[in-house]
Amino acid sequence: MEEIWIEKYRPKILNDVVGQNEIVERLKAYAKTKNVPHLLFAGPAGTGKTTCALALTKELFEDTWKQNFIELNASDERGIGIIRGKIKDFARTAPIGNSQFKIIFLDEADALTSDAQSALRRTIEKHTRICRFVLSANYSSRIIEPIQSRCTVFRFSPIKEDDVKKYMEKISSTEKLELTQDGLEALIFISRGDLRKAINILQVGASVNNKITAELLYETSATAKPEDVKELINTALSGNFMAARSQLYELLIKYGLSGEDIIKQIHQSIFDLTLPDESKVRLIEKAGETEFRLIEGSNAHIQLEALLAQFALEGGKLR
């Protein structure tokens, strides 16, 4: 397969980072002064946390950035060993070149155990003079308070639709793809502000056909069409439970969805229904209960059928 586009089109400098203008301006100020505090990047996946860490490092160290930078993924090694081993060993050595410090980038830091985070806090204190830590987390609440208080927190938000559109059109133009309007809207719907996901889906679609349509993207990304999910819900609300059950199994087979996938799309579609708010509240509650049971390991088919039964009962109240 050709080069992975998420690396090929990853911004190399801060000015090229997409959709995080305020954060970029603050980081550029650090790069200009050639000094940074410890940083905590928090936010959803695919919003530019790793990209910003790499771009900041390259602007700080220029030619010696590889020698003064180490990237570790905490989800691979969650325990205290990673703190006592790799991180301490790197933190003890002096920076290369004219640099005053080195950078340790710890991705998915919220996956570290509490003991490992406590050890990390001590390591941060001990090696602050020659080492700066950049922590990345999807959920900053899972980082212990002593570490948060030692870091400057940057909160990343999902990438806006307009920014996703511009970037997808830029890649399509470079790769000589025909990206249709409905294909572009499908990319935005499927990615939900996750630019990495949007780029990966576009590349998968491009490997099948040069013309990128919504139909192609839904099939290659194992995502059901919004109108199909909405039709499923409306069939259940109309009281035709057996027809809704058949539609559910058709969706599961056609798109190869898991129970968690389908419940997420049902949840999104509920808000678009023309129902009283009271009914939407009850349906959201039932969807949330079903999602919890699926995560706990319940049978997906039984739970989704039970949810459709609840939709049918709710529709009966409205008739």
Confidence check: pLDDT of 40 > 90:
yes
Q: What is the pLDDT of residues 93-140, one digit of tens each?
A: 788 878 889 998 988 888 888 888 888 888 888 888 888 999 999 998
d(CA 106, CA 187): 30
Co-location of 42 and 117 in the same domain: yes
| pLDDT value at residue 165 | 93
> pLDDT above 70 covers what percent of the chain?
96
pLDDT the model gives residue 231: 92
Residue 80 pLDDT > 80 = no
Query: Contact, 231 vs 224, CB < 8 A?
Result: no
Question: What secondary structure does DSSP assign to 162-201, as a single string?
Answer: HHHHHHHHHHHHHTT-EE-HHHHHHHHHHHTT-HHHHHHH
Domain that holds residue 203: 161-220
- Which of 132, 155, 178 terminates a domain? The answer is 155
Domain with residue 89: its CATH number is 3.40.50.300
230 and 308 fall within a common domain = yes
Instruction: Report the number of distinct structural domains present in the chain.
Output: 3
Radius of gyration of the chain (CA): 23
Are 28 and 151 in a shared domain? yes
Q: What is the CATH number of the domain that holds 212?
A: 1.10.8.60
In this predicted structure, what is the pLDDT of residue 219? 84
Same domain, 138 and 75: yes
Chosen domain end from 220, 238, 260: 220
CATH number at residue 299: 1.20.272.10
Phi, psi of 132 (to 5 degrees): -115, 140
Round the average pLDDT of the chain to a whole number and report it: 88
One domain for residues 200 and 264: no
**pLDDT for position 93:** 79
Using the predicted structure, report yes or no on whether residue 1 has a pLDDT greater than 50: no
Contact of 196 with 165, CB cutoff 8 Å: no
